[in-house]
Amino acid sequence: MNRFINIKRIIQLCFLSKISIQNSERKIILRDLEKVVRYVSKLNQVNTNNMLPVLIIGVNNIYLRPDNFIMSDRKFLKDLRFSFYNLIKIKNF
């Protein structure tokens, strides 16, 4: 069991997600969260060394690898580049 998942964490997640949940729901969500987190944690066993993700836009950084894109459609990449430049403009990077 992930030691970081407890009722306190659920309350914190509810605050961040701006959702109120009842006490009875908290226990169910806690149980489900534990199960799912345990299940998805197995992804960390997959070796992804030297593997660059498809696209990540973080708060302070942007990794954009067009050659890594699922699609190789030129128009799609052009539109994406356009959105990317706009994002930089908006965020004032």
Residue ranges binding another protein (CB under 8 A): 9-10, 13-22, 25, 28-29, 32-33, 35-37, 39-44, 46, 48, 51-56, 68, 70-71, 73-76, 79-80, 83
CB of 71 to another protein, least distance (A): 6
> What span, in angstroms and rounded, lies between the C-alpha atoms of 54 and 36?
24
For another protein, give the closer residue by CB, 66 or 68: 68
> What span, in angstroms and rounded, lies between the C-alpha atoms of 93 and 76?
23
For another protein, give the closer residue by CB, 22 or 92: 22
For another protein, give the closer residue by CB, 67 or 92: 67
Cα pseudo-dihedral 9, 11, 16, 18, rounded to 10? 160
Side chain identity at 45, as an amino acid letter?
Q
CA 43 to chain centre: 14
CB of 93 to another protein, least distance (A): 19
- Reduced to 3 states, what is the DSSP secondary structure of residue 83? helix
CB of 37 to another protein, least distance (A): 7
